[in-house]
Structure 1
Amino acid sequence: MNRRVWALAGPIILSNITVPLIGVVDTAVVGHLSSPHYIGAVAVGALVFNYLFWSFGFLRMGTTGLAAQAAGAGDTDEVRSTLARALLLAGSLGLAAIALQVPILSLALWAIDASADVSAEAAAYFEIRIWSAPAALAKFALIGWFLALQKARVTLLMQVAMNLVNLVLDLLFVLGFGWGVEGVAAASVIAEYAGLALGLLVMRRLLAEMGGSFRRALILDAVRLRQMVKVNRDIFIRTLCLLTAFGYFTAKGASMGDITLAANAIMLQFQSIMAYALDAFAHAAEVLVGRAVGSRDRAEVRRAVRTCFLWALIFAVLFALAWLAVGPALVRVLTGIEAVRLAAYALLPWAIAAPLLSVWGYTFDGIFLGATRTVEVRNAMIACLALCVALGEALIPLWGNTGLWVAFMGFQVARGVTMALYYPRVERAITQA
């Protein structure tokens, strides 16, 4: 089981770790411009797209769980059909996002209520990057399908290629051409389509190897469509609550001024690097639990859960130690603005504690999504968001930004606690083969 976890988690760690590194580069490039509002603008722009794209994260998470269960049951045609349904939905949602870009941007800027300078730059970022929506969402569906087939190395190849394109173009457009935040956005658009093109090429080869066929009647089967809608609906609500917690955090930080917003944005880069690494074990749990559920093997589910939690906890400890050792140096890399540096230094204890507080929720997410126990995931996240907002509204007036961080970390702890209480339902739902 250790080998099986690492066959999935190893490539995913390498793949995932490149994602926040691009965010680090984005922040570092604009962090050495003349004003902190450039950092804030990229943070706000990235938040809007995290909210928009990851609201449709069910295209990845739901596809992995459903396709893994079909693969575990040996149903090749259903593995194909799951991909077809996900890609059709991804294309439709991506085009809808482009069509609705004006109201989406207006609502986002109203909700965050940043300074005029930050809002203007964030709008410029949004108006370019929105054109990546179809590619970004289709890529979610492909990655979910590749993971279900235990082709984690393909996701590594896609992500590394995409992020290398993003990195090179980021430096060229911003530092070379002087395009500012517009250059960051343009680099992201081109990189998303490059990643999708590579994924489609690999998909074509895998389909030829696996056999089976696409059957319209199966793809559009009413029962399976209802199951997909149910799973995706619950994951959508869950993800919306998760993103709302991050949105609440950013919006409250923005209301405290550009320096606080920039310092919090830098600390979120620490959180992002850690989260993408820990997510590798959540993805591994999702695939292994999904296949075990498909074959109705309760003992295999337990082995997968124990092993994924063990490695996730080891990595959480390593990240806490890493931030303790190199946190100040990373802050200096991310910004040359002294006021932002000083504010970020004061927040480093939160970055150090975050891996140990967050690891439980991340890993449980993968377990529940692999078992397609999405109702429990949804309900847990609703409760956690309510707690986060309640803590924030109570503590921010008393403690300012410290109160905001207490609320945000309380949200992370609550994710693990609520799903731990729900976990016995996962095992009870499985019939031993």
Structure 2
Amino acid sequence: METSPEVTTPPKPLTHKRVLKIALPIVISNATVPLLGIVDVGVVGQMGEAAPIGAVGIGAIILSSVFWIFGFLRMGTVGLVGQAEGAGDTAEVSAILTRALMIAGVGGLLLIALYPVMIWAAFSWEPTTPEVEALARQYLFIRIWTAPFAISVFALTGWLVAQERTGAVFAIQLIMNSLNIALNFLFVLGFGWGVEGVALSSAIAEVVGAGVGLWFCQSAFARPAWRDWPRVFERARLVKMALLNVDILIRSALLVAMFTSFTFLGAQFGDVTLAANEVLIQFLYLTAYAMDGFAFAAETLIARAYGRQDPARVRRSAVLTSVWGLGICFAMGAAFWFGGPWLIDLLAKDTEVQAMARVFLPWMAIAPLVGCAAWMLDGIFIGAARGRDMRNMMILSACIYVGAAAVLIPAFGNHGVWAALLISFAARGVTLGARYPALERAAG
């Protein structure tokens, strides 16, 4: 019979060292993710044309947006597994991973089946130039087949993060992204496969990443509970997981809709502006991925504090992780302000794209400071499994974003596109911050 540790086991101390131990592997591994985006843009940028850059940007944002809708698997898994760990329920820790992987498999197959509808909807909503659309369709057709594997990685990394095994998450990302980058150079610059080569590189890396993740999660499958089907399908636990995941799904769908609309709204100002926005958005992804390390630390530590029903540990976890997150945002903003022009020239060879990206660089330089609160509070609320608050505050923030875009874009063009995006960041931070006191009270 499987035994579980007592809930009264003394918890590990909450220290800056512990925060860094969780966060730094994620920060380092996530640095390779925007690097991958930079390489994607950079290798096609060597072709000296704006259309391939725009096609990779459009294709990647569509598919990444659709995949990230399933980001609830990572976020929900962290909260539920972390709280089960905090409560000493090791059997449930294994059962949660089984549920998450089943959802990933079904979700991935559903995306493959709905691929024609997804493509039609994407390009009907905001059409691009025929050349960009044709190249983007080639990219998407190759990558959609690995959807079950790509989505499974969310579940696997969430399970590992909840147990503070971020070193394993680092290894998964490092292997995936190193392979992807190497194949990019081989397929695009070596074989001359262009946009199709970028897509094939990503597809292969996603399959490999899922396999590596399963290997790191062997301890979950060493417990009989992973295949204890009465537990896995227990109604009360399924309902709890479903409600949390639906709330996070709605939140994630609205978030990716805002980022997707940013790409398409910029596209209406021409291929050069679209390419410039795509270059700059890589800087934002770099910031978000750097912040993720400390947001993940918040998720893990707050989930465990919730499992122990300890409001004081919730507050200390939030403060410790947020101090580090704020420091990262200040550093990234300064780096973009002073080093942005050099990075732009590195990513794009087209002189028109370079000049256009410089025009909008100041927006990107202030984005980390504006978005800091939203990114950290996301991690805090995920750890607490407060899906309803995340959903409701995202709905409110999305409404603010739509209103800002409707007013600012006609008046200020692409400057209005950037302003609306940053206003949405601020709205998320303010609205989630207003709900934090209730989160802390609920831990008791």
User: TM-score higher than 0.5 here?
Assistant: yes
2:121 and 2:146 map into 1 onto residues whose CA distance is 19
Q: Do the aligned partners of residues 26 and 297 (structure 1) sit closer, same or farther apart at CA in structure 2, a change above 3 Å counting?
A: same
Task: Report the CA distance between 1:140 and its aligned residue.
Answer: 0.6
Query: Which residue number in structure 2 is paired with residue 422 of structure 1?
Result: 435
1:212 and 1:225 map into 2 onto residues whose CA distance is 15
Query: Which residue number in structure 1 is paired with residue 403 of structure 2?
Result: 390
Write the deviation string for residues 164-194 of structure 1: whole angstroms up to 9, x where unpaired.
Answer: 1100101111111111110000000000011
Counterpart of 2:50 (choices 32, 36, 40) is 36
Write the deviation string for residues 196-227 of structure 1: whole angstroms up to 9, x where unpaired.
Answer: 1111112124643x786641111000000001
Query: Which residue number in structure 2 is paired with residue 148 of structure 1?
Result: 162
Matches within 5 A, 1:139-178: 139-178=153-192
Query: Which residue number in structure 1 is paired with residue 276 of structure 2?
Result: 263
Matches within 5 A, 1:154-233: 154-205=168-219, 207-208=221-222, 214-233=227-246
1:237 and 1:312 map into 2 onto residues whose CA distance is 25
For 1:264, the aligned partner's letter is N
For 2:37, the aligned partner's letter is G
1:277 and 1:75 map into 2 onto residues whose CA distance is 32
Counterpart of 2:374 (choices 341, 358, 361) is 361
Residue aligned with 1:405, SS = helix
Contact 2:94 2:220 in 1 (8 A): no
Does 2:370 correspond to 1:376? no
Residue aligned with 2:217, SS = helix
Counterpart of 1:67 (choices 81, 91, 110) is 81
Write the deviation string for residues 224-275 of structure 1: whole angstroms up to 9, x where unpaired.
Answer: 0001110000000000110111111111101111011111111100100011
Counterpart of 1:5 (choices 16, 19, 25) is 19
For 2:178, the aligned partner's letter is L
Does 2:355 correspond to 1:342? yes
Contact 1:77 1:214 in 2 (8 A): no
1:222 and 1:211 map into 2 onto residues whose CA distance is 19
For 1:293, the aligned partner's letter is Y
Query: Which residue number in structure 1 is paired with residue 414 of structure 2?
Result: 401
Contact 2:306 2:314 in 1 (8 A): yes
Does 2:326 correspond to 1:326? no
Does 2:139 correspond to 1:105? no
2:436 and 2:269 map into 1 onto residues whose CA distance is 39
Does 2:372 correspond to 1:351? no
Does 2:234 correspond to 1:245? no
For 2:271, the aligned partner's letter is D
* CA RMSD across the alignment: 1.1
Contact 2:225 2:231 in 1 (8 A): no
Structure 1: 5+ residue runs without aligned partners?
Answer: none
Q: Which runs of 4+ in 1 moved over 2 A?
A: 205-208, 210-214
1:212 and 1:254 map into 2 onto residues whose CA distance is 50
Equivalent residues, number = 430
1:57 and 1:275 map into 2 onto residues whose CA distance is 15
Residue aligned with 1:372, SS = coil
1:216 and 1:132 map into 2 onto residues whose CA distance is 27
2:389 and 2:302 map into 1 onto residues whose CA distance is 16
Contact 1:76 1:211 in 2 (8 A): no
For 1:204, the aligned partner's letter is Q
Task: Report the CA distance between 1:34 and its aligned residue.
Answer: 3.3
Residue aligned with 1:113, SS = coil
2:126 and 2:148 map into 1 onto residues whose CA distance is 25
Percent sequence identity over aligned pairs: 43
Write the deviation string for residues 377-432 of structure 1: whole angstroms up to 9, x where unpaired.
Answer: 0111111111111111111111111111111110011110000111111011111x
Counterpart of 1:234 (choices 233, 243, 247) is 247
Structure 2: 5+ residue runs without aligned partners?
Answer: 1-14
Counterpart of 2:426 (choices 392, 400, 413) is 413
1:216 and 1:97 map into 2 onto residues whose CA distance is 26
2:333 and 2:118 map into 1 onto residues whose CA distance is 37
TM-score by length of 2: 0.95
Query: Which residue number in structure 2 is paired with residue 92 of structure 1?
Result: 106
For 1:99, the aligned partner's letter is A
Counterpart of 2:35 (choices 7, 18, 21) is 21
1:346 and 1:34 map into 2 onto residues whose CA distance is 20
Task: Report the CA distance between 1:325 and its aligned residue.
Answer: 2.1
Contact 1:73 1:294 in 2 (8 A): yes
Counterpart of 1:52 (choices 63, 66, 69) is 66
Residue aligned with 1:423, SS = helix
Contact 2:226 2:232 in 1 (8 A): no
Residue aligned with 2:48, SS = coil
For 1:58, the aligned partner's letter is F
Query: Which residue number in structure 1 is paired with residue 7 of structure 2?
Result: none
Contact 1:60 1:142 in 2 (8 A): yes
1:319 and 1:385 map into 2 onto residues whose CA distance is 25
1:111 and 1:153 map into 2 onto residues whose CA distance is 41
